[in-house]
Structure 1
Amino acid sequence: MSASMSTAMQRTQEVADKLAFLRAHLAAASAGAIRLRGVDWFAWVTAGGSSAVLQTTDSGVAEVLVTPEEACILTDAIEAERLRAEELPDGFTFHVEPWTEPELRERYVQNAAAGRRIFSDRPGNGATAGATAGNGMGEQPLPNALRQRRMVLGPDERERYRLLGRETAEAMSETLRRARPDWTEYQLAGAGAEALWRRGIHPALVLAAGERRLPAWRHPTPTGEPLGARAMLVFCARRHGLYANLTRFVSFAGLNSVPLDEQRALLEVEATGLAAVQPGKSLSAVYHAFDAAYRHADREGAIREHHQGGITGYQAREIVAGPSTATQLEEGMAFAFNPSFAGVKIEDTFLLGPDGLENLTFDPGWPAADVHGRKRPLWLEAQASS
């Protein structure tokens, strides 16, 4: 059996398992349908398919409607054949309407639900949807159990994630090893995006900051300023719907440009937070671990200057850790935390497994230090004249 046939069969089985899970919830709630509009849920239920054309939108060019009888792709005639040929495994039927008659989709959904409740990841206007069906109920948010289930990744999802993380880290390292101090932030971000696209990865977010802007902004969207003595590059990189998130720094002035004391202090803050990521704990427990670590480092205010990250997966952040975030942590969840001081930050994407946290975005060729038994990235010291 060829590798492509094996992958197709794995995707088909993954889809079947997920549809069975969704239908069990339909039956338990005596509901008629689950309507998944977002590109995140589309990728999840199709085992890595993409409904995105405009890459910055939350909702794509197709939806998935799951009923007890079928799993139907709702789209228009512009997109249907491409989706069928390039994005979707077996297991789905299609409802295709002319792009000029979008009302046909709504009619189909209401008929399929047969007057029963419709759950949706992005509920439509209740008055409109309910009036069409005559039931006055409209669409309701997905049950929390479904949202929790999506964050616990299965074996095939984890393998897709590992490959994505490795290739995203390679793209990051390649870009920063090429970078020069006279590059503009635009050039650095563009080189990073190109390195991702060349690997079939969508650069959902690329931040870049040079020497002047680095300490000023936590989210430095690129500008035309030259980098100068140091630079930061940030990726939120998406493929098969999954996000690999990481941050790296380069110095063009040797150790004179690397804030070593700040870096060491931040590595200790991160280590405290990562140690709190354990099955059965709450996400808020991780937040409070970070809070205590900042206080220990005499940086009490730092936790209020930027969020600390949280659970990742089919969104760059599925849930951000906060002081009262009760979400329970489970094996199979992915995490991207980003503790920071002004001008210094650290971020990787981890998968929680039976042996603890696995760093998905680790590059063995990148400079690193051992921090409480875990390899953590340092700043790359580049030659400004090379």
Structure 2
Amino acid sequence: METRELDVKLAAAGDLLREHRLEALLIQRVPNFAWATCGASAYVNTASDESVASLLLTPTGRHLITNNNEAPRLEQDEGLTAQGWEFHITEWHEVSEKIDALSHGLQLGADCPYPGALDLRRAFPRLRMNLLPQEQARMKSLAGMCAEAMDRAIRSVQPGMTEHEIAARLGAEALRQGVLPIVNLIATDDRVTSFRHPLPTSKVMEKYAMLVLCGRRHGLVCSVTRLIHFGRLPEDLRRRAQAVAEIDAAMIAATRPGQRVNQVFRTGLAAYAKAGFPNEWRMHHQGGPAGYEPREFVATDETQDLVRVGQAYAWNPTITGAKSEDTIMIGPERNETLTAMADWPAIEVSIDGQKVSRPAVLEIL
């Protein structure tokens, strides 16, 4: 962490307070804690987004309030004392009282519902989605790890494995690199066509599998999907895989600085229609900007946000039985596919004279 990153984020928090005529800001959600501390982890239960520590920005200081069993790790592993946060350590049942004492008499805003505070939760995705150079470097590193984990896991899949076994492979490959698999979805055979969000089951794989990973490290989240088929892909499924690759390519090509997110969304809808699947977009959201959540928000026809250099996006168009998903980063001259995998079969799509490479289904013949 460079001082500059923290300074920029503190300035953004100050601007948020001034915009709403507030004096203090309370941060208690895991993604926002990670953003504000340049990547620190403040969770225990990965199924909850409630942080085990609170950050409080006031006119007189930067406070971190936590209990006595969390403080040592936050100080030592996360280095937050060195980052300049003033620790207030309480017993587990006294945290709220300490927050109230420190914020007493101040006009308070918070990133989640809190008594007496203005709810600012909707402001944070827009703060988080514009990645600073240090965050861009961390996202690229994370994406490389997620791509490697996916590549190793999916190439180890064999007919006869259960979805639980496949999920265990994918999760282990992510964790081996220090990446937390916060989404680990597996579908095989008919379940690929039945479910867009397939939690793994004891079903035994026969020929076809889809693996979906959202991995978290230093607070950031990267997303990637790949599919594998044993034997030649049936022609109808090949047509669907080709179509979803063309839709994804169109959306990636349209995600350029100065474009509005809803323009990209509309490009995707037009691509669905052109591919002969005009209503499939209604079956699942199409993705959006990535950052400290798998999607900082989901793109719709109403989303007016501008695409900017340094942002990351994960589009995820689906057609029943097929899906395309990678995490990309917006560069000044071109987009970079961060989760690309060497030697993975590709579908090359031509969009306005440029080639956009999208992953094909891996066929094991």
TM-score range, shorter chain: over 0.9
> 8 Å contact 2:125–2:297 — kept in the other structure?
no
* Correspondence for 2:358: 376
Which structure 2 residues correspond to residues 288-367 of structure 1 after superposition, within 5 A? Answer: 288-367=266-345
The equivalent position to 1:141 in structure 2, one of 83, 108, 120, is 120
* Aligned residue among 10, 18, 35 for 1:44: 35
Output the CA distance in 2 between the equivalents of 1:267 and 1:274: 10
Which shifted more, 320-329 or 42-51? 320-329
Q: Does residue 265 of structure 1 match 2:256?
A: no
Corresponding residue number in structure 2 for 1:228: 206
- Kept in 2, the 8 Å contact 1:312–1:334? The answer is yes
Which residue number corresponds to residue 89 of structure 2?
Answer: 96
* 1:166-315 alignment, distance < 5 Å: 166-256=144-234, 259-315=237-293
Distance 2:103 2:141 in 1: 40
Q: Unmatched 5+ residue regions in structure 1?
A: 1-7, 131-137
**Amino acid paired to 2:91:** P
- The total of aligned residue pairs comes to 359
Q: 1:217 to 1:39 in 2, by over 3 A?
A: same
1:123 matched to 2:113? The reply is: yes
1:74–1:298 distance in 2 versus 1, CA, 3 Å: same
How far is the alpha carbon of 1:29 from its aligned partner? 4.5
Equivalent residues of 1:73, 1:93 under 8 A apart = yes
**How many angstroms does 1:333 deviate by?**
1.3
Q: Is the 8 A contact 1:251 1:257 kept in 2?
A: no
Distance 1:40 1:317 in 2: 12
Structure 2 residue aligned with 1:73: 64
Shift of 1:195: 0.4
**Secondary structure of 2:194's partner?**
coil
Match of 1:15 among 3, 6, 12: 6
Residue 107 of structure 1: CA displacement? 2.3
Distance in 1 separating the partners of 2:12 and 2:320: 45
How far, CA to CA, are the matches of 1:108 and 1:334 in structure 2? 39
Superposition RMSD in Å: 1.8
SS of alignment partner, residue 63 of structure 2 = strand
* CA–CA distance in structure 2, aligned partners of residues 86 and 13 of structure 1: 21
Q: Which consecutive aligned stretches of 4+ in structure 1 deviate over 6 angstroms post-superposition?
A: none
CA shift in 2, pair 1:143/1:169, >3 Å: closer
Q: Report the CA distance between 1:256 and its aligned residue.
A: 4.8
Instruction: Tell me which amino acid in the other structure corresponds to 2:86.
Output: T
Instruction: Quote the residue 2:100 is aligned against.
Output: 107
Distance 1:334 1:47 in 2: 17
2-side partners of 1:107 and 1:265: how far apart?
A: 55
Contact 1:229 1:257 in 2 (8 A): no
Question: Which amino acid in the other structure matches residue 33 of structure 1?
Answer: A
How far off is 1:92 after superposition?
A: 0.9
One-letter amino acid matched to 1:167: M
Assess, with a 3 A threshold, how the Cα gap between structure 1 residues 258 and 363 changes in structure 2: closer, same or farther: farther
C-alpha change, 1:371 and 1:101, in structure 2 (3 Å) is same
Identical amino acids, percent of aligned pairs:
35
